[in-house]
Structure 1
Amino acid sequence: MTTMVSLRDVTKVFPGKEGPVRAVDGLSLDIAKGEIFGVIGYSGAGKSTLVRLMNALELPDSGDVVVDGQSLTRASERELRRARTGIGFIFQQFNLWSSRSVAGNVGYPLRVAGWSRKRREERVAELLDFVGLGDKARQYPDQLSGGQKQRVGIARALATSPALLLADESTSALDPETTRDVLDLLRRINTELGVTIVVITHEMAVVSYLCHRVAVLEAGKVVELGDVYDVFSAPQRDVTRRFIGTALHDRPGPDVVARLRERHPGRIVTVTVREVTGEDRTPLTETFRAHDVDASVVFGGITEVGARPLGSLTFELVGAPDRVDAVLDDLRVRSDVVEYDDAGRPLPSRTTATTAAVGGASSEEVR
């Protein structure tokens, strides 16, 4: 794996009303060339500071930041200016000049870099065609939709052919349909141009749709790191579980369980559904049948994370108590299972088996 971005024991401290704030705290991280890497965290986790360290808009108080083989921490101002031409930046609020046309906005970095007018015009036309705005060159930002403005911002970020593209909350100002269009464009940039992309976001749905790997930030530290599917399917930290809950919406809360109990008197349980690559692909329906237990889906959902199925289904189970206990023990061997009490709270597990490493029921098993 060739590394595009490497941070080693990086710390950045800012003054605060109640004392120094460690926005980034001894953080180490490697991002590979050619990947789409997500950095996710709640407000104050250190995301924006981290991305500013990656393009040397901020310099660390300690540690080292290396981008494409060059240390930004030890570089001179002249070297930093040259290094920044290889790093594109996409802003949350577009940051377009209202007094400049679309072509003028896209071509501005090339003008600063000293490109001739003819070369600028050719490059701008090429970029606007790539982002689907070839007919908008003479228009101005206030004539564009939010999605079109962000496409202009992306074209501008690509002007100098950067090897690294940083996207800081680049879809948070957009509606869901426009967000998907922008994410598809970023995917094209990655696959067709080979650009490494770092996505800074608080939206887990963005990470699940776009990214290959993800780092979860909390209080300036990386608390979870790995393949997006692995982090989603077996989260280790509470902060990650909260993010996943906002993206999947597949597990009932206590109030929902209470409403379900009004209509379903049987035992209410939730079963995690994951992709299974091993030999155990016994369908859930066959498992229930083998124990002579009736099961009805009453809540849940399955989505794709990195083109792989993930989610959970909540069942009402009806049958003799010992048979229901047996089917739950069977399911716990290969999946995460939660049963709820009358108040809608999760009951303690009846087994100590570690299921996260085994994998859950697959989408093929639910039929």
Structure 2
Amino acid sequence: MISFRDATKVFGDGPRAVRAVDSVTLDVARGEIFGVIGYSGAGKSTLVRLVNALEPVSSGQVVVDGQDITILGEAELRRVRAGIGMIFQQFNLMNSRTVAGNVGYPLKVAKWSKQERQQRVSELLEFVGLADKARSYPGQLSGGQKQRVGIARALATKPAILLADEATSALDPSTTDDVLTLLKRVNRELGVTVVVITHEMDVIRSIAHRVAVMERGKVVEHGRVYDVFASPRAPATRRFVATTMRDRPSKDTLERLRHRHPGRMITVGIREGAGSGTDVTAALREHGVDGAIVFGGITEIDERPFGSLTLELGGDEAAIEALIADLRSTTDVHDLGTRDAPRDDPSAIIDGDPPEGSPDEHEAPDVDPYGFAVDAIRRHGGPR
């Protein structure tokens, strides 16, 4: 549905130029929920704005539903934008209009008849669970309700693509879950391709089918969400996974654990099939090794188990070595050593470390309500 081919976006000239998006080649499949994650300044918001040409590329190609939009004129771009909806972190609703007025505004600009507008607005407010708020104003709504209005407005003209730029960052965890559930319904029931931009791995874990990790304008890793969680290669990805899961003891936590557990400690990855908790239990029994869980966590990603357990092992040293070798044949194992001979876990996060990013990276801000109005006019072919 969306293809980036060596897409690059540069802001500024000369030595002060910033490569916000740097030679990105990436595909988003039709009908999937695709996540793009990165720390602040990674270039993810700039990347998503290349999709609807709110930011034109400096070089390379962006192909949307078979059309290379980098070669289109403004009139042709308006037709492409008609098939792309967008929701924002700060909602960008027009406070002077009711909920129904906000949702119906793109339809009015697109010159739908009054009857068609009313019917479509009614359908959308019912879909997002706000049928009783049609006459309310944005100032009377909660943050979650405002984002639901934003989603309804983005869906007004029946787009094939929905871009969600940090759409849950301003919401509390419970409201975030509700909005993510709604986005999954949009994808599943309406067949809309959804691209989610976020700095929260929990969002990716909850909603996305595939994910791309960005750092300093580049895509450093991408793939199915479970695979990226299970075998993160890039340092930025490992940090995101560790921060989200909290299933491995950090360096400071490990030091505290060693005071209480002086024996040999290992961290074992828990995955679907081989390397499951049952396998660990069976291996301990087979090798005659005692194992006490001292840290860990297991959750589900894509309806499959994922996480890790940190154990203190006791018993014959040769049996412990055989156990570790046995477990390593089916899953990842980090040998943390003992209190007297400690070893670090390369996948552990360091407490208090700031995330690595690019402070001089250009990130486009949210469009203000009036900016959205102008964009809506351009998108739907009305007067400029």
Fold match (TM-score > 0.5): yes
> Which 4+ runs in 1 deviate beyond 3 A?
none
Contact residue 284 and residue 291 of structure 2 kept, 8 A: yes
What is the CA–CA distance in structure 2 between the aligned matches of 1:180 and 1:170, rounded to whole Å? 12
Q: Does 1:183 align with 2:156?
A: no
> What SS does structure 1 have at the residue aligned with 2:16?
coil
Q: CA deviation at 1:140?
A: 0.6
Aligned residues: 344
Q: CA deviation at 1:103?
A: 0.4
Q: Deviations over 1:230-277 (max 9, x none)?
A: 111001111100010111010001222222223223212110101127
The 5 A counterparts of 1:1-367 are 4-15=1-12, 19-276=16-273, 283-341=279-337, 342=339, 345-346=343-344
Q: 1:217 to 1:141 in 2, by over 3 A?
A: same
What is the CA–CA distance in structure 2 between the aligned matches of 1:333 and 1:63, rounded to whole Å? 43
Gaps of at least 5 residues in structure 1 are 349-367
Q: CA deviation at 1:50?
A: 0.5
Q: CA deviation at 1:109?
A: 0.5
> What SS does structure 2 have at the residue aligned with 1:207?
helix
What is the CA–CA distance in structure 2 between the aligned matches of 1:180 and 1:333, rounded to whole Å? 37
What is the CA–CA distance in structure 2 between the aligned matches of 1:318 and 1:173, rounded to whole Å? 47
What is the CA–CA distance in structure 1 between the aligned matches of 2:88 and 2:278, rounded to whole Å? 47
What is the CA–CA distance in structure 1 between the aligned matches of 2:57 and 2:6, rounded to whole Å? 10
RMSD: 1.8
> What SS does structure 1 have at the residue aligned with 2:295?
strand
Q: CA deviation at 1:292?
A: 1.0
Gaps of at least 5 residues in structure 2 are 347-384
Task: Kindly indicate whether structure 1 or structure 2 has the higher relative contact order, using CA contacts under 8 Å at least 6 residues apart.
Answer: 2
What is the CA–CA distance in structure 2 between the aligned matches of 1:261 and 1:5, rounded to whole Å? 49
Contact residue 253 and residue 344 of structure 1 kept, 8 A: no
User: Which AA in structure 2 matches 1:58?
Assistant: E
Q: CA deviation at 1:283?
A: 2.2
What is the CA–CA distance in structure 1 between the aligned matches of 2:253 and 2:65, rounded to whole Å? 50
Q: CA deviation at 1:36?
A: 0.4
What is the CA–CA distance in structure 2 between the aligned matches of 1:17 and 1:247, rounded to whole Å? 39
> What SS does structure 2 have at the residue aligned with 1:223?
strand
Q: TM-score, normalised by structure 1?
A: 0.90
User: Which AA in structure 1 matches 2:207?
Assistant: L
What is the CA–CA distance in structure 2 between the aligned matches of 1:319 and 1:345, rounded to whole Å? 19
Q: Deviations over 1:147-203 (max 9, x none)?
A: 000000000000000000000000011111111110000000001000000001111
What is the CA–CA distance in structure 1 between the aligned matches of 2:247 and 2:318, rounded to whole Å? 28
Q: Percent identity?
A: 64
> What SS does structure 2 have at the residue aligned with 1:189?
helix
Contact residue 255 and residue 344 of structure 1 kept, 8 A: no
Q: CA deviation at 1:282?
A: 6.1
Contact residue 204 and residue 244 of structure 1 kept, 8 A: yes
